[in-house]
Structure formats: C-alpha cells, structure tokens
Amino acid sequence: MKVLFIDDTVDNLSLFKIYMKNFDEADCTFESDPRKGIEHILTDTFDIIFLDIEMPEIDGFQVLDSVDSIKAPIFALTAHLSGEIINRIKEHTKIQGVVHKPVLKKNLIEIIKNEAS
C-alpha cells in the first residue's frame, strides 16, 4: 500500500516516519512542501493520502482543489477543531476522514489497514 503524508511541520513528518518504520505493509512518501506534494499526487499513484489542512502558503484545501482526479482516499490532518475548519472538511467531497493531532500511531495504522481491506 502506497501512502503519502503531506505536512509542513517537519516534526510531525519525523513522527510519522517513526510510526511507519516497522510497518512493512506501507510504502510511504513524506513531503513537507505542499507544492511537491501536489507533484507527487500528479505523477504517482497512492492508495491513501494524509494531508495537513492548515499550512501557511498553500493549505490542504488548495492542494485538493489543484488536483482534479485524486482516486486515493484523503484523510485530513488537523490540530484545530474549530467549527469552521470541521465544516469545511465535512463539505469537501474528496476528504474521507479526519485525523486529529497529535496523531497516535495506532490510529494511523488502523486507517491504513482498513483502507487496505
């Protein structure tokens, strides 16, 4: 299963790398630059994408809006549970679920396993 993580916080990506290190079922790509994340989406095929919603220059919604045909399920990563953000996530047709930060390893593994089956 090919997994893409896009998060502008390098510490979060480092944590995700640790979480995924011994999880052999996942072939992971980690990207801190949303522009490069878009390039990955356009040039490769992923089975699941974890996307930070609140990034400074290009937010997660803009990433999704810039790529027309994403077939992989998208899971929004967010630390903020404000009504506005949650409503935008719920309204966005490409987002399948939300992963609240701080992210727990068991939550990521569970989502990946569920999507694989």
Domain count along the chain: 1
DSSP state of 103: P
**48, 75 contact by CB (below 8 A):** yes
The larger pLDDT score, comparing residue 86 to residue 51, is at 51
The answer to whether residue 97 sits within a structural domain is yes
12-50 residues labelled b (16+ CB within 10 A) or e (exposed) = bbebbeebbeeeeebebebbbebeebbebbeeeebbbbb
Has residue 10 got a pLDDT over 90? Answer: yes
Q: What is the CATH number of the domain that holds 81?
A: 3.40.50.2300
The answer to whether residue 48 sits within a structural domain is yes
The answer to whether residue 117 sits within a structural domain is no
Q: Which residues contact 56 (CB under 8 A, 6 or more apart)?
A: 8
Residue numbers of the domain that contains 8: 2-112
Please, how many CA atoms are within 13 Å of residue 88, restricted to the half-sphere of its CB? 15
The answer to whether residue 75 sits within a structural domain is yes
pTM of the model: 0.95
Kindly report which listed range (35-49, 67-81, 95-109) carries the lowest average pLDDT score: 67-81
The answer to whether residue 50 sits within a structural domain is yes
The mean predicted confidence, pLDDT, of the chain is: 93
